[in-house]
Each structure stands twice: as structure tokens, then as C-alpha cells.
Amino acid sequence: MHVLVIYGTVEGHTRKIARNVSSTVQSLGHQTTVFDAGDLGDVDLDIADAVIVCAPVHIGAYPTAIAHWLKAKAARLSTLPGAFVSVSLAAASPFPEEHAEIQKITEALFERTGWRPRMVHQAGGALRYPQCDFLKRLLMKHIAYKEGGPTDVTKDHEFTNWNALAAFVEGFIGDCAQTAGAAAKEKSPA
């Protein structure tokens, strides 16, 4: 299988997640191509057997580049098995209401774009305080406080559960392989 891994990022952590997703897919014996949402114009979806989209939540929404691209390609994407990895601080929050909130944000993306993936994973993101300017650091600290996260701005904090992410990707690829196998069986003469 050839799996497209498409991601959007603002601070860089979702790039790390997309690359990790790609490595997991490759370790299962499949080919991958990784695209940044900024260069999405010329992605040839005809090369893909499946798509995994990774996008972070920033101030209650996913990057517009990803949302626009999903909307433009929703019809074609709907013919491919798809998975979505949402990246946020809320996913790692100890507060259930934060998890419910992030589910709503994810659902709003699917409603708005018309793309509905087969599987969804909510991954914890990262707080890269030291690399941010004063105002952004203040905003992040406020969000972290609200989500029950760390507010020590002197260092980075990472909340991604890499084992859970790998298990999700393995589950998705296993499901794709099963569907492809069943389709091939249906086509082949008895």
C-alpha cells in the first residue's frame, strides 16, 4: 500500500507526529509520502491507497490550510480509507470536559469539510514555551492552566503517547489491509 501522510503545523510538533506515523507505516512494510499542508496544492491522490491526516488545535480550531484542503478534496478523499490524528493539549488533560470539547472541535472539522475518516485518534501535543515570544507564551500558559497542564515556561513539555499513536496506526493499516483483501477476494473468480 501507498499511504499519504498529510499534516499541518504551527509550532512543529505535528510534523514530528506525522514523521512518526510515517515510520510506523513503513515498519509495517508499506510505502509513504509525507506532505506539509503548506505544499498541498499538487498532491496526487491517485497514488494513494490510504490517507492519514494529522492536524493540531490552535485556539479552538485546526489550521485553515488543512481545513480548506480537506473541503476541496473531500469527494475524492471519501473514496479512500482515511484516518485523522488530532493534536492538542486537551487530549492529555485530566479533565473530561476538555476531552468532550476537543471531540466537538474535531466533529466541527468533519462537518465543515465533508470529510469523515474511518478512524480518529486524539494525541496529546507539546508545549514549546522557550521558543515562543512573550505574548504567545502567556497565551499558552493560560491554555495549559485551563487544561490542567504544566505552567513552567522555562522548558518544553511533551504529552504525546507514542505507543498509543503507533497502536492506532497499526490498527488503521490492519483495517485497510483487511478491506483490500476482502475487495480482492470479491473480484477474483471462485
Q: Are strands 126-128 and 156-158 parallel, antiparallel or unpaired?
A: antiparallel
Nearest to 91, CA basis, from 148, 172, 163, 53: 148
x-or-dash pattern for ligand FMN, window 65-104, by CB under 6 A? ----------------------xxxx-----------x--
d(CA 85, CA 95): 20
Minimum separation from the CB atom of position 140 to ligand FMN (A): 5
Count of residues of this chain found to bind ligand FMN when the rule CB under 6 A is applied: 24
Per residue in 103-124, is it b (16+ CB within 10 Å) or e — as a string? Answer: eeebeebeeebebebebbbbbb
User: Would you count residue 3 as binding ligand FMN (CB under 6 A)?
Assistant: no
Minimum separation from the CB atom of position 169 to ligand FMN (A): 17
d(CA 179, CA 127): 38
User: Contact at 8 Å (CB) between 71 and 116?
Assistant: no
Rounded (5°) CA angle 68-55-63: 45
If you write DSSP's letter for every residue of 143-156 in order, what string do you get? HHHHHT----TTSE
Minimum separation from the CB atom of position 165 to ligand FMN (A): 13
Minimum separation from the CB atom of position 174 to ligand FMN (A): 27
Q: Which of residues 106-165 bind ligand FMN (CB under 6 A)?
A: 125-127, 136, 139-140, 143, 147
x-or-dash pattern for ligand FMN, window 4-23, by CB under 6 A? -----xxxxxx---------
Segment near ligand FMN (CB under 6 A), from 26-34, 57-65, 108-116, 182-190? 57-65
Binding residues (CB under 6 A) for ligand FMN: these are 9-14, 56-60, 87-90, 102, 125-127, 136, 139-140, 143, 147
